[in-house]
Amino acid sequence: AQKVTQAQTEISVVEKEDVTLDCVYETRDTTYYLFWYKQPPSGELVFLIRRNSFDEQNEISGRYSWNFQKSTSSFNFTITASQVVDSAVYFCALSEALRFSDMRFGAGTRLTVKP
């Protein structure tokens, strides 16, 4: 069965620090998709990234970067030079592409960036 673990419940950093949010997943499928979503205090989830299981290249988007490593079943998310506006709950999610099934979300990591 698919499973997503975000071991860090809460993280607090000071503005301009770098921070990495961990995500470890379990799946028996060889084809799957991984996602990160941001849920700011307003409550609406915002899509950040989707990666498929065949593409292990790291991705950078501005201050955000993602490290996908199949060998450790991890899909970690790093925010460089964090800002107060980055404060939110971040969810990692897994979708097994070969069947119509639910997207499994991790429990989320609450990131607080202090000025």
Partner 1 sequence: GAGVSQSPSNKVTEKGKDVELRCDPISGHTALYWYRQSLGQGLEFLIYFQGNSAPDKSGLPSDRFSAERTGGSVSTLTIQRTQQEDSAVYLCASSATGMSYEQYFGPGTRLTVT
**Shortest reach from residue 61's CB to partner 1, in Å:** 14
Pairing, β 88-96 against β 64-69: unpaired
**Shortest reach from residue 67's CB to partner 1, in Å:** 19
- Would you say 19 or 92 has its CB closer to partner 1? 92
The residue type found at 79 is I
Could you give the C-alpha distances from 68 to 9, 29, 31, 40, 85, in angstroms and in order?
20, 16, 14, 24, 25
91 binds partner 1 (CB under 8 A): yes
Out of 25, 95, 111, 113, the residue judged to bind partner 1 by CB under 8 A: 95
Out of 69, 70, 101, 114, the residue judged to bind partner 1 by CB under 8 A: 101
Pairing, β 104-105 against β 74-79: unpaired
Is residue 101 within a helix (H) or strand (E), and if so which, with residue range? none
Q: Binding residues for partner 1, per CB under 8 A?
A: 33, 35, 37, 42-47, 50, 52, 91, 95-97, 100-108
